[in-house]
Structure 1
């Protein structure tokens, strides 16, 4: 319960006035025995206990009526979101989540969680008239003072977007704003509690907590979690658009973000350069990766389009945009000395029958210009000096570098990544690859679900990669075999053995070929005129956050700025397809224990709202009920004060009889 005007609680002291008057009246009267009155006392002795009870009830009704009046004047509001409060704050900072996941609809309702949240906020803030309201939306992160809660659903800063949220930074921005604000303050956080937006592992949380707790008047933090089961929903993502001669190969992924598990068939629509292609797609699990080949006129240099699903529980994740440019050859570079390993790597990077692909061999001492290279396969000692700087620039611009162990044990590191010393297996035994990520990385399953036979890999010599990197495959003894580290827009891969039969059978095509081709495909994406980017990323915003011209004709009715929406934009380099961040399709809600750790040391509370109606209020004012209670107490007091007919007649009869006796 929150008291919007707690100072009026002092009126509750008036409840002691009837009690004080009663006590004073008892002291003012003295008992004088009078013989004639003994007859009257005897007549009324039987009802004395009832009269005392009536007096106590009358006194209680008077005191409760005054107390109810005092509490009604304090304007109490009850509701789980408000909990126990200490009065109306001077400033309320509302952090509003308008990420793409907030457009999901709860089960059995047609409103999105964002729309429901706006309705909740309007009702709650109406009860806090007189408090300054400051809105910080998750897309812009800019504080905006609101003239009235009624404008919430009319603002562009509460409209739906295709962005993600960064709550450590948003709360730090709220703390920065409150430094210059006087008076009591509260922070209201409205979110669907999607874990990827709260980033519990982000190192900024420590600084954010310190900023909140060291304010002159630390704010109370109320978190409104828009949670509960979602309506049936499927999301589509564009993974790539590769020009291959007169065709465009579209790679995409469909993810089911609800809890349903039964197989479904969905209509898939591909619209490209004004032409529409429709077909059905069957999904048996939670996700499906697929490729579609679309013909492209040979004389068309570039183009764009989108893939879409029918409307469901979240309209923001039913479309993914793509763009493409002219076909161009894919060039790879193999760095190492001539030998068996370099030969196998060259063949895997540009196998026979793969038109448009080529690979050249270069010694590490004479590294060529990398501006035309998509992927580097490095089987020499780790680079240093100018070679290392050249590779860093290459990675920052989206290149892929795959490191294999050098023949000899040599020290050194590259971006804090290194090799352990060479180890050999025992006689007549092998190091066997037993665990690898089937859904991610260079050893992931194919689009039709067929796994790579990586368990056929046998090695008698290996070097274990070390350094801060994600492990995507491990040997049977748990040591890493394949690691990945993202550098800029590119990726560094480290493979724990060489494609050399004195080391392993990695040179066999069943493992090395798909591994190399996936690295080549990822590296070649940086040369596409129509690049893929995520909303809010550095690539999408461009240098200096310049405005891009939107060229797609996908219908949009949002009030949000185009920089917060997905689409195809024309930039100085060509076309750029911008889509919502991939993390917005990841199902996962932050639990309360983790939330308590993030806000450790602050005065915070969580209210999980699972109601589906936008008209429901977060709090309910109860002053009307208290006023009704006061009237009932006064009415009861008046009824108790009325003389009872039987008692009055008895007293009158007794008095008349005594008077006659005196005659």
Structure 2
């Protein structure tokens, strides 16, 4: 029998209290002096130790109750490990972590040694299964008596480039043992117990009757530096700036760590970076001239304990940016679009280039080169101009209509009102000022401002705005405190139209003076155009659709574009992995998804046309770089329902693989509590009966 909380046994020391009282208490007489007796013979007064226990049964019952309560709070249980070790037939599942973090400084060898030690401890008649897990769990060897097959399976295993998900491994072990009957069942979990792999693990639990042994190979000091991200920003004149972000996962500061940048296989520059403990750092590569088209880029740092995150791969391609055309009112001063223009030109993610043109002179040629158009305080009285705008939006353009004093709603043509998405409205002159009070923070425009201290729109005061009644199919995104729409949108063909019912300068409101103005205008541009910053890399284990790769370049790829025929004899695609091995891509009638399980550069290419190769950059998940382990006791208690008892197992080179054993067991604390209650009840009945018969003084019936 073992105890979960043995320190509660200190309560047994309370047994000494009644014993001490009974054996040390003396009854003393109180002497009163009478003067008239002062000449009589003085008699000595004797005291004696009160050593006799008058009711030993009551004393014993009370002591037994104290003992039972102390034992109950210490949580005793019967351990079944001894029975397992005695040679009873067992079904054992070796559950081995093969995620990327196991590549840290020989931890993989220690994990294999722990698994082999389990095989060495199996007896005659015991069966074993081998299963592995990273982000997914796999059964390598089903339950078998063939220990040689299990050893061969362990010899063929290697770590992957994927993340950790302990929950999936536990669920697989449960399914394997569900087929076991009339045998002792046990799971041996060998892992480094990364905290990032156990975030949702508390939801899994082994069934009753299944024991759990957890062998941890977590490093004592998980110092590690990882390359986390590469971001390319336009710097003007066709040159770019590259930002390399690093994460220091250790408890010691890092100084002067060299970060090298390679483009198309050539080292461009090396920059030293300092990082605080458990902090981040950035290496900035300025004024870079990237090669024409798309090329491979790679960031590297010197090797440390975990080599897999010391290189970061990406597709090097300049940021295309957004081209914005501001359609101005001819009657307004030249500074009517000043705030809009300055706000859009600040920032480089993406870089937004602006140009102005009079709204009355709008033609199809001016729109053809624009991604985003702003009709700033101008009307659409001319049906031809409205038709050209509508045709451009229908082809995928993004339009922002800003209504001001010269919008002249009563002059708009029917084509213009259809593009506006609302009937002609009236001008509201709010002398007391209006505020924005109802914002849809789930909408992409305001999603950026949903967090705490991310921006406040309530400080802006609106003195004038147009009151419009949006038509069917429009979505109101923001309202004033009086209920009128401030921002609404609707779709036109493949494009999107946003309508702002006040000005975006200082004439009708002071929003342009608020800190939220610049990011707000940027979000309007990005949402109207449907812009998404290109992802130049994906995580290992990710999938991409072949049509997206071929047609648009896709996420994390350097594509050729323009290829639409995916099936048939003329378009046989192959996947070339980082080692150069080729395998065919099965192209069916529906979407064709390609998985990228390892870190490195892949190529998706036509079988007989190397010029149509599409490069995909793949990196390990950054979560694998954080080696901080979760407490093993927390895992095994959550999975097995009780706290573990500690043992030890030796790994390679003397490295210790801490092992926790948690058998499924019956606990006795509730039985002891019931017995303690029964004893106290009997003691109370006897004490009351004997007290009525003869007064009892002192503790415990003394």
TM-score for the superposition, normalised by structure 2: 0.48
Show the counterpart of 2:309: 317
Say if 1:164 and 1:584, in contact at 8 Å, map to a contact too: yes
C-alpha offsets along residues 307-343 of structure 1, whole Å, 9 cap, x if unaligned?
1111112111111111134652326899xxxx99998
SS at match of 1:86: helix
Cα distance, 1:219 vs. partner?
1.9
Q: Give the 3 Å change call, closer, same or farther, for CA 355–315 of structure 1 in structure 2.
A: closer
Partner residue, 2:155? 154
Residues of 2 paired with 1:574 and 1:150: CA distance?
A: 40
Q: How many residues align?
A: 418
Q: Which runs of 5+ in 2 are unaligned?
A: 2-78, 143-147, 327-331, 355-371, 377-388, 404-433, 463-502, 550-572, 581-593, 606-612, 660-702
Task: Report whether the alignment pairs 1:308 with 2:300.
Answer: yes
TM-superposed CA distance for 1:361, in Å, is 3.6
Q: Distance between the aligned counterparts of 2:304 and 2:161, measured in 1?
A: 16
Aligned match of 2:122 in 128, 133, 137?
128
Q: Residue in 2 aligned with 1:56?
A: none
Relative to structure 1, is the Cα distance of residues 297 and 501 closer, same or farther in structure 2, using a 3 angstrom cutoff?
closer
Map 1:7-156 to 2 at 5 A: 86-87=84-85, 90-105=90-105, 111=106, 113-129=107-123, 130-145=126-141, 147-151=148-152, 154-155=155-156
The answer to whether the Cα contact below 8 Å between 2:259 and 2:301 also exists between their aligned partners in 1 is yes
Partner residue of 2:197? Answer: 197
Question: Which of 549, 564, 568 pairs up with 2:576?
Answer: 549
Deviations along 1:484-503, one digit per CA (max 9) or x if unpaired, are xxxxxxxxxxxxxx988799
Residue 407 to residue 165, structure 1, CA distance change in 2 (3 Å): same
Query: Aligned pair 1:531/2:507, yes or no?
Result: no
SS in 2 for 1:599: helix
Q: Distance in 1 between matches of 2:168 and 2:264?
A: 40
Tell me if the contact between 2:135 and 2:162 (Cα under 8 Å) persists in the aligned partners.
Answer: yes
Partners of 1:256 and 1:267 in 2: CA distance: 14
1:360 and 2:360 matched: no
Cross-structure match for 1:234: 225
CA offsets 1:234-279 (integer angstroms, 9 cap, x no match): 1112232456664343222111111113x51112222221211342
Who is 2:210 aligned against?
Answer: 219
Residue pairs, 1:419-434, within 5 angstroms: none
- When residues 266 and 527 of structure 1 are mapped into structure 2, their CA distance, relative to the original with a 3 A threshold, is closer
Matches within 5 A, 1:562-601: 563-571=596-604, 574-586=614-626, 588-591=628-631, 594-595=634-635, 598-599=638-639
Residue 289 (structure 1) aligned with residue 278 (structure 2): no
Structure 1 position 303, deviation (Å): 0.6
Deviation of the 1:521 alpha carbon: 9.3
Distance in 1, matches of 2:655 and 2:614, equals 48
Does the aligned pair in 2 maintain the 1:272–1:303 contact within 8 Å? Answer: yes
CA contact (8 A) 1:98 1:138 kept: yes
TM-score by structure 1 length? 0.50
Aligned 1:210-609 pairs, distance under 5 A: 212-213=206-207, 218-230=209-221, 232-242=223-233, 246-261=238-253, 263-285=254-276, 286-293=279-286, 295-296=288-289, 300-325=292-317, 327-330=319-322, 347-351=342-346, 357=353, 359-361=372-374, 368=393, 436=453, 459=459, 507-508=512-513, 512-513=517-518, 526=532, 528=534, 531-539=536-544, 548-550=575-577, 563-571=596-604, 574-586=614-626, 588-591=628-631, 594-595=634-635, 598-599=638-639, 602=641, 605=644
Cα distance in structure 2, aligned partners of 1:416 and 1:296: 33
**Residue 413 to residue 271, structure 1, CA distance change in 2 (3 Å):** closer
- How is 1:633-644 mapped onto 2 (pairs within 5 angstroms)? none
| Bigger helix fraction | 1
Q: Specify whether residues 123 and 328 from structure 1 end up closer, same or farther in structure 2 by C-alpha distance, changes over 3 A only.
A: same
Question: Are the structure 2 counterparts of residues 181 and 527 from structure 1 closer, same or farther at C-alpha, using a change threshold of 3 Å?
Answer: same
Measure how far apart 1:577 and its partner are: 1.6
User: Does the Cα contact within 8 Å between 2:227 and 2:245 map onto a contact in 1?
Assistant: yes
Distance 1:616 1:102, change over 3 A: closer
CA separation of 1:407 and 1:193: change in aligned 2, threshold 3 A: same
Question: C-alpha separation between the residues in 2 aligned to 1:98 and 1:407?
Answer: 56
CA distance in 2 between counterparts of 1:347 and 1:611 reads 66
| More strand as a share of residues | 2
Matched, 1:169 2:163: no
Q: CA contact under 8 A between 1:238 and 1:250: conserved in structure 2?
A: no
SS in 2 for 1:306: strand
Whether the 8 Å contact between 1:331 and 1:372 is mirrored in structure 2 is no
Q: 1:458 to 1:273 in 2, by over 3 A?
A: same
CA contact (8 A) 1:223 1:607 kept: no
What is residue 33 of structure 2 aligned with on the other side?
none
Equivalent-residue separation in structure 2 for 1:519 and 1:607 (angstroms): 59
| SS of the residue 1:177 aligns to | helix
Whether the 8 Å contact between 1:251 and 1:290 is mirrored in structure 2 is: yes
